[in-house]
Amino acid sequence: MPILECQKVSKAYGGLLAVSELSFTVEPGEVYAIVGPNGAGKTSLFDCISGVNPATGGVIKFKDREIQHLRAHQISRLGLARTFQTTVAFDSQTVLTNVLVGGSFGRDGENPALRFTSQAQDDALDALALCGLGNQQRTLAGQLPVLARKRLMLATALAMRPQMLLLDEPFGGLNPAERAQMIELIRIVTRTGVTILMIEHVMKAVQALADRILVIHHGQQITIGPPSKVLRDRRVIEVYLGNVAPMGPEGVPADA
C-alpha cells in the first residue's frame, strides 16, 4: 500500500491553476523527487499535501486516510512533516529550543507553553544528533550558516518522529561541498525508515538520491520514472532545461 497517494490534485489561486489534476503514489521507504521549472507548481503541491494551503480539487491520502481537508497540525500529527524552501527558524532562540518547539507542533498532547515531556526532549536531542547539530544546542538559530540552518530545519521536522518528510529544495543555496554533506544527511534519514518526497532543482542530488522522479510543468505531469529513464527523456530535457543547457554524460546539465 502506498504511504502517500495523490488523485487528480488541483490547486487554483483565483483564476490561476498552479496544480492541475496531478496523480501519483509514493511507496514506503522511497525517496521520491519532484522536479520542474520555476513556477511549475511544486511548492503549491507541497502546500496542499501538508495542509498549509489546501487543495481546491482531488483526493490526498496518507496511510490510506484522506487528508485533503485536514489542517497542517493535524496532518503533521498523523506522521507527515515538511521543511520549507526558505529556511524558517526562530532566529533569537537556541537550536535546542527551535527543535523542541517545532517538534512539539506535530505531536499529540504537547503544550509548548507549559512544558515538554521527556519523550519530546529525547526526540529533539536524537534529531539534533542525527542532523549533526549535537554540539550546537545552545547556538542561536540566527547565527547558523546556511547548511547548519538546513540541518536545523530537518532536525525540527524529524523531532516530530514523522514517517514521511516533504523537503522543499533542501539543496538550494548550498555549494558543491555542502551538497555532498546534505546528500549524506538525507541518506542517513532514509536509513531510519523515513519516506522522503523532495522538490529539487540540483540534478546531481536528485540522481544520487531519488528512486523515482515526477516531472511537472505548468502544474501538469510530464512523466514519472526512475532517474536513469527520466533524465534522458527528451520532453524533460526540452521542458525543464529549455533545451539550452550543455549536457553532461548522463543527459544532465554539466553544472547541475
Helices and strands of the chain, counted as H and E runs: 9, 10
Q: Decide: is 44 part of the binding site for Mg ion (CB under 5 A).
A: no
Among ligand ATP, Mg ion, none, the one that 39 touches (CB under a kind-dependent 5 to 8 A) is: ligand ATP
Q: Decide: is 83 part of the binding site for Mg ion (CB under 5 A).
A: no
What are the residues binding ligand ATP (CB under 6 A)? Answer: 13, 16, 18, 36, 38-44, 85
Alpha-carbon span 232 to 210, nearest angstrom: 15
For the bound state, the minimum distance from the C-beta of residue 34 to ligand ATP, rounded and expressed in Å, comes to: 8
For the bound state, the minimum distance from the C-beta of residue 88 to ligand ATP, rounded and expressed in Å, comes to: 15
Kindly report the CA angle at 148 between 184 and 157, in degrees rounded to 5? 75
Among ligand ATP, Mg ion, none, the one that 223 touches (CB under a kind-dependent 5 to 8 A) is: none
CA dihedral 236, 3, 83, 173 (to 10 degrees): -30
- CB-neighbour burial class of residue 173 (10 A; exposed 0-12, middle 13-18, buried 19+): middle
Measured from the CB atom, the residue of 77 and 150 that comes closer to Mg ion is 150
Among ligand ATP, Mg ion, none, the one that 227 touches (CB under a kind-dependent 5 to 8 A) is: none
What stretches of 78-211 adopt beta strand conformation (E)? 80-82, 164-168, 195-199
Among Mg ion, ligand ATP, none, the one that 38 touches (CB under a kind-dependent 5 to 8 A) is: ligand ATP
For residue 214, give the H/E element and its range: strand 212-217
For the bound state, the minimum distance from the C-beta of residue 232 to ligand ATP, rounded and expressed in Å, comes to: 22
CB atoms within 10 A of CB 109: 8
The C-alpha cell of 92 is what?
533569537
Measured from the CB atom, the residue of 16 and 254 that comes closer to ligand ATP is 16
Q: Decide: is 43 part of the binding site for Mg ion (CB under 5 A).
A: yes
* Site residues, Mg ion (CB under 5 A): 42-43, 85
